[in-house]
Amino acid sequence: MDEYLKSITGVIIFYDAAANGGSGGWRWTIQNAQIPIVKLIGYLVKLQGWLIYRKADKCDAPALVIEWDAAERELSYSVNDKLPVDELIGTLELFKAQLVDGQIAQIMALQQKAQESPLLAADGRPARKV
């Protein structure tokens, strides 16, 4: 990853020719940012539609860059116009699915924890919500 990409605050989705034993593959990373996940998921949905028209700032690196402005709480993107749009949109879908799966797992863990109770029943076992 070049120096420009290392300086980004946000999400970088890039094609790595050395991945998968040299056959290449897409990679993504969130760096230097605490982006609210729900906001990022919503932005990815919009971005998938926008990419068809490629109306974005140009990115010299072989990547899609989603920058996070923490002060304004806004996302913006730039993309290299040589990247294959179908593969890029598919990669966004996989990235989005990973984020959604993480959110679902977190919600389920919280629900499970809410079901547990520090109260004890008469027989000494933890009391459960009914």
Q: How far is residue 44 CA from its own chain's centroid?
A: 8
- Reported as a single tens digit per residue, the pLDDT across 81-106 is 888 889 999 999 999 999 999 988 88
pLDDT given for residue 120 in this prediction: 66
Where do the structural domains in the chain lie, given as residue ranges? 3-115
pLDDT given for residue 79 in this prediction: 92
pLDDT given for residue 13 in this prediction: 92
Q: Please give the sequence-ordered ranges of beta strands (E in DSSP) within the chain, or none if there are none.
A: 10-16, 25-31, 57-58, 63-69, 74-79
pLDDT given for residue 114 in this prediction: 64
For residue 30, what are its two tokens? 């969130």
pLDDT given for residue 66 in this prediction: 95
Prediction pTM value: 0.77
Give the CA dihedral 25, 26, 32, 33, nearest 10 degrees. -150
For residue 104, what are its two tokens? 């679902």
CB 64 within 8 A of CB 85: no
